[in-house]
Amino acid sequence: MDNLIAKIYGSPKTVFNTKDIALIWEETNKNNLKSKISYYVKNKDLIRLKNGVFVKDKNYNRQELATSIYTPSYISFETVLRENGIIFQHYDTIFVAGELSKNILVDGQKISFRKIKEVVIYNPLGIINKTNYSTAIRERAFLDMIYLFPQYYFDNLHSIDWQKCFEIAEIYQNKKLIERLKKYQKDAQ
């Protein structure tokens, strides 16, 4: 295995966009980068999932994939709420907060991007940085949800830390969100 592909395989990341590969290979010439990537895709050393998104093999992290397509972004909404037992419905889709709204299908995985305003996206409050992607804590995901869907029904709000919600809610700079948060808190008690 040559040095360039060894650098990719030596990375803890499982999903790479073109910028990631350029940084790992220290390649600044776009044409050289494109031809090198094409070479490794043809040789099956890299798998192209979609334009500009690559994996080493099929054992990649699907949440890492979701946040690698458009940046900045983080896992949120139903994905986090279901993982934390706040909603019980199962979704095959991975829900992502980002700067645009778009539904895509990559390698059989449905990914739904929901637009959140920039001031929120860039604020790290309530975001956990996992090994190769970011995800909202349950309170941030809850706030993202009621920010975009004011009447959303939640199955179980007992694990919500309301104090933490009110702290995080300030980043949305939205009085109606605070009102909704107070109503959900009252209904949950």
Structure tokens at 92: 């095959």
Please report how many Cα atoms fall inside a 13 Å half-sphere around the Cα of residue 122, on the Cβ side. Answer: 3
Helix (H, G, I), strand (E, B), or coil: what is residue 85?
coil
pLDDT at 2 over 80: no
- pTM to 2 decimal places: 0.92
If you write DSSP's letter for every residue of 114-172 in order, what string do you get?
Answer: EE--HHHHT--TTEEE-SSSEEE-HHHHHHHHHHH-TT---S--TT--HHHHHHHHGGG
Tell which residue, 54, 37, 57, 42, has the closest CA to residue 106.
54
Q: Mean pLDDT of all residues in the chain?
A: 95
pLDDT at 1 over 80: no
**Close Cβ partners of 79 (under 8 Å, ≥ 6 residues apart):** 63, 91, 93, 94, 95, 96, 141
Res 33: pLDDT = 95
pLDDT over 90, % of the chain = 95
CA dist list (Å): 174 to 50, 147, 170, 177, 179: 36, 9, 8, 5, 9
Tell which residue, 63, 61, 41, 39, has the closest CA to residue 50.
41
| Tens-place pLDDT, residues 151-174 | 999 999 999 999 999 999 999 999
pLDDT at 3 over 90: no
Dist. CA 2–CA 56, nearest whole Å: 14
| Tens-place pLDDT, residues 113-157 | 999 999 999 999 999 999 899 999 999 999 999 999 999 999 999
Res 131: pLDDT = 87
For residue 74, the 8-state DSSP code is E
Dist. CA 97–CA 117, nearest whole Å: 9
What angle (nearest 5°) sits at the alpha carbon of residue 177, between those of residues 89 and 102?
A: 55
pLDDT at 74 over 80: yes
